[in-house]
Amino acid sequence: MTPLEFKEENNPPFRLFAPAEQRIPYVFSSPHSGCIYPNSLMDASALSHHDIRRSEDVLVDRLFSSAVEIGAPLLAAQFPRAWLDVNREPYELDPKLFGERLPGHANTQSMRVTGGLGTIPRLVAENLPIYARKPSLNEALNRIETIYRPYHEALRRLMAQSAVKFGHAVLVDCHSMPSSGFKGQGRSRPDIIVGDRYGTSCAGEISREIVRRFSDLGYSVTRNKPYAGGFITEHYGRPLRGLHAVQIEINRGLYLNEQTYEPSAGFHRLAEDIRSVIAYLVSLPDTRFSAISDAAE
């Protein structure tokens, strides 16, 4: 198998769900909800199919699918996060994962790499090693060239098109998190975490209103703690240029049986509440989002 196996099996590495006409200046991304695990990954993995899914944002693309009906595009990965993580720099490469010498431009020192969660992850959740047989550096570079780069090219194009059409664009990066435990401490997590890189990736009004609306619906919500947003939020958020990016983390306990990965009884209520939040956001006056004065709030 090669990194092109998605195409060879008639499964594109990611899918764009879009309305016939984009009606709102929002773009939604679900980079970790992919659940098509390549045979080459499973053949090389030390994990069962069940365990390797621990870092997957299960069903998040479906939770946010109402965005398309409301009038925004949704870009959703089909490849799994355990195989390639597009919410990283392109070359956050882990020296512990490869036998070859890494290229000089690789970032081998980031906290994400140190934690085993680079562009090509070494671990899934709960520090489980993915590989029994490590990938070659050439395999990793192929994944970056054939999957990572096209995903970000598609995302950049959607943001640029939205900005041209509406005068500004808002990227909502959609994620989920396990229901309990901060760094193994066993503490319950909030229902929703909204990340805006401490006010630098989007207009403060956008993130504040997301927090307010989810709170009004009865959810426990925090802002930037413990997740302030990853590479996508940081990279695409340029508020002074009218480009905004905000990350939403959903507690999986709200909608998922975390043992079977099947939707729980709460799935439909949460999906409807997310629809309500999106509809509320797009109803806000947005004339000032093309030039922001409080971007460093």
* Cα dihedral 249, 151, 34, 181 in deg (nearest 10): -30
Phi first, then psi: give them for residue 167, nearest 5 degrees.
Answer: 90, -10
Q: Let me know: does 202 contact 194? Beta carbons within 8 Å.
A: no
The larger pLDDT score, comparing residue 253 to residue 99, is at 253
Residue range 96-121, pLDDT digits in tens: 999 899 999 999 999 999 999 999 99
> What digits encode the pLDDT tens for the residues 153-210?
999 999 999 999 999 999 999 999 999 865 444 557 899 999 999 999 999 999 999 9
The rounded distance, in Å, linking the Cα atoms of 157 and 149 is 12
3-state DSSP call for residue 53? helix
CA distance 88 to 251: 21
pLDDT at position 11 is 79
Q: By the 8 A CB rule, do 145 and 30 touch?
A: no
250 pLDDT exceeds 70?
A: yes
Three-state DSSP at 245 gives: strand
**What CATH number does domain 5-80+136-283 carry, 3.40.120.10, 3.90.580.10, 3.40.50.960, 3.40.630.40?**
3.40.630.40
Q: Give buried/exposed letters for 114-139 (b at 16+ CB in 10 A, else e).
A: eebbbbbbbbbbeebbbbeebbebeb
Strands 74-77 and 26-30, how do they pair?
parallel
pLDDT tens for 29-44 read 999 999 999 999 999 9
Q: What is the pTM of this model?
A: 0.93
- Residue 184 to residue 50: CA distance in whole angstroms: 20
CA dihedral 139, 59, 243, 278 (to 10 degrees): 170
CA distance 239 to 236: 9
What are phi and psi for residue 235, nearest 5 degrees? -75, -40
Q: Where does the pLDDT of residue 290 fall: very low under 50, low under 70, confident under 90, or very high at 90 and above?
A: confident
DSSP string, 184-220: TS-PBPPSEEEE-TTTTSS-HHHHHHHHHHHHHTT--
Torsion of CA 228, 159, 91, 88, to 10 degrees: 20
Q: How far is CA 293 from CA 237, 282, 297, in A?
A: 14, 21, 9
The reported pLDDT for the residue numbered 10 is 66
